């Protein structure tokens, strides 16, 4: 029951977010969202620089109930929640590798933002998650 409710809420969120785009939409349904991996392109409207010895930060979904990705230093996973146009990853788990300071700073911003309720908006091939502290902008990549 919870899975079906989350799927319905995710579909409603994505369809309402895409309704006003007025153009081509890459991720316009929850099914599309789960088929794409998203790469972090901006934090607070500033281009993301790949950390030294790090990886491209990503966000991916499985069956609208699980989220996973790379935070620039470590891999993470958790339960994806969508409610009233808001998104968060509940009970986030993460690998525990040590990385250079720039990668750790990026990871803190990304993990803090993903684990808190953030407004979720999809326009075209862009996913934006924003809360009182940060705005994360992701770009859709090739289907997984």
CA dihedral 9, 67, 70, 94 (to 10 degrees): 130
- Residue 93 pLDDT: 95
Average pLDDT of the segment spanning 69-95: 92
List, in sequence order, every residue forming a beta bridge with 127; answer none if it has no partner: 122, 138
List, in sequence order, every residue forming a beta bridge with 60; answer none if it has no partner: 68
> Cα 104 to the chain's mean position, in Å?
18
Number of domain units in the chain: 1
- On the question of pLDDT at 30 being above 70, the answer is no
pTM exceeds cut of 0.85:
no
Is 133 a domain residue?
A: yes
Farthest-apart Cα atoms in the chain, separation = 44
CATH number at residue 33: 2.40.128.270
Is 10 a domain residue?
A: no
Domain range for 41: 26-143
3-state SS, residue 49: coil
């Amino acid at each position: 029951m919870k899975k079906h409710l989350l799927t319905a809420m995710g579909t409603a969120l994505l369809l309402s977010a895409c309704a006003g785009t007025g153009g081509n939409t890459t991720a316009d349904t929850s099914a599309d969202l789960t088929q794409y991996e998203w790469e972090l392109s901006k934090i607070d409207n500033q281009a993301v620089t790949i950390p030294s010895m790090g990886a491209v930060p990503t966000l991916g979904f499985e069956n609208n109930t699980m989220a996973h990705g790379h935070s620039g230093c470590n891999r993470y996973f958790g339960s994806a929640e969508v409610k009233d146009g808001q998104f968060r990853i509940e009970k986030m788990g993460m690998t525990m590798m040590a990385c250079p300071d720039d990668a750790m700073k990026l990871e803190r911003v990304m993990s803090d933002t993903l684990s808190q309720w953030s407004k979720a908006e999809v326009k075209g091939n862009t996913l934006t998650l924003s809360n009182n502290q940060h705005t994360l902008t992701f770009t859709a990549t090739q289907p997984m």
